[in-house]
Amino acid sequence: MRVIFFNAKSYDKIYFDRYLAENKFGVTYIEERLCEATVRLAEGYDAVCVFVNDNASAGIVDTLVGYGVKMILLRCAGYNNVDVKAAYKRIRVLRVPGYSPSSVAEHALALLMSVGRKTHRAYTRTRDYNFDISGFVSHNLYGKTAGIIGTGKIGAVMADILSGIGMTVLAYDKFPNKELKSVKYVAVDELLKKSDIISLHCPLTPETHHLINAKSIAKLKDGVIIINTSRGAIIDTKAVINGLDSKKIAGLGLDVYEEEEEYFYEDRSEEILDDKELVRLLSYPNVLLTSHQAFLTHEALETIASDTVDNIKACLSGKFMPNEVCYQCESKGKCDKREKGFNCF
Ligand code: NAD
């Protein structure tokens, strides 16, 4: 079993080395992302291990299949960067859906707390020995209304946290979770109109692409705070910039960005950035952007590595693969076969 590990970082190696070596799986770490120019490096391997900004679109999936690669191992929960239709019945796609919902929800909370209470600005002020607090008047979260879009594993934790703070939590989900007691499910429009803060936790799909756009922003409360730790393209960046300019949006906390592939995880501090919208976003005092790091806790990294190895083992043994992404099931939202403990194909 030989795995080629694209887009490898030092923190990945610490955790993956241990789990892969224990199971005597061979691994080659490379820093390059998977894309058309690098897919040739996968020849001769049984599996590719990829992350959020690796590209496994249809043409790349075809090439991997041609090389005899049997598994695309996503070391992340989202799978919008893999063409699951092209992969269907040709190559297994396995992900790590539940590695640490708390890790992401707590980061969403950190963004909300910083943007809401302006602590990111206080940090730079006091480090400059400027102890003036003018401009930092904020709102309590207690007693306000939060709107959660997507109440799966991460959204549910976020809903419980915000409910614990004393917020009323409204939620919208295509497939509501009846077990989740901390939320009241409403139509998406009601959520947009009533929420003081909105946190996005749905996957990026054709349906959720630009869910936050000029039309939906027009429905928001004045002074709303938006938090996105899900995927960048759920927000239409141009529309959100207009929303910030008009002051409709009072705060924006982003861990993801529509065009992040080009920039995130790289040090570009010596460059003049070409992306005018990214530069614009970074110029606002009420925008806090982190570089897709919500997953980055020790607990999450440990589970990502162990779950990925479990995925390989399940696939090699022909046993049930609970973490397989299947084109047909994902489009239906549930799978009768999988619920009975069988693989889809
Ligand atoms: P999940 O599959 O458990 O939950 C997603 C929820 O979204 C489900 O309840 C689903 O029914 C709902 N949903 C699907 N389509 C929808 C739609 N059109 N409208 C409203 N709701 C819809 O996933 P999760 O583990 O909670 O992760 C959510 C997302 O968070 C992932 O898809 C990924 O993009 C992102 N993520 C980001 C990071 C990070 O580091 N920033 C880490 C992990 C996951």
Average pLDDT, integer, range 155-164: 98
- Of the candidates 92, 231, 258, 324, the residue annotated as catalytic is 231
Does the structure show a pLDDT above 90 at 295? yes
Average pLDDT, integer, range 237-250: 98
Q: Identify the residue whose C-alpha is closest to ligand 1 atom 2.
A: 152
Mutate to test the pocket of ligand 1, among 82, 178, 201, 325 (most ligand atoms within 8 A of CB): 201
Alpha-carbon gap, residue 334 to 34, rounded angstroms: 29
Average pLDDT, integer, range 277-289: 98
Look at residue 333 in the predicted model and tell me its pLDDT. 65
% of the chain beyond a pLDDT of 70: 99
Active site residue 201: no
Look at residue 327 in the predicted model and tell me its pLDDT. 77
Average pLDDT, integer, range 112-123: 98
150 close to ligand 1 (CB < 6 Angstrom): yes
171 close to ligand 1 (CB < 6 Angstrom): no
Does the structure show a pLDDT above 90 at 45? yes
Active site residue 231: yes
Look at residue 87 in the predicted model and tell me its pLDDT. 95
Quick one: which of 26, 99, 86, 97 has its CA closest to 60?
Answer: 86
The mean of the pLDDT values for the chain is 95
Average pLDDT, integer, range 72-81: 95
Note the pTM of the prediction, 2 decimals. Answer: 0.93
201 close to ligand 1 (CB < 6 Angstrom): yes
Q: Please give the distance, rounded to the nearest whole angstrom, from the Cα atom of residue 157 to the centre of ligand 1.
A: 12
For the chain, strand residue ranges (E) read 2-5, 26-29, 47-50, 71-74, 92-94, 145-149, 168-172, 184-185, 197-200, 224-228, 249-254, 287-289
% of the chain beyond a pLDDT of 90: 91
Does the structure show a pLDDT above 90 at 35? yes
Does the structure show a pLDDT above 90 at 342? no
232 close to ligand 1 (CB < 6 Angstrom): no
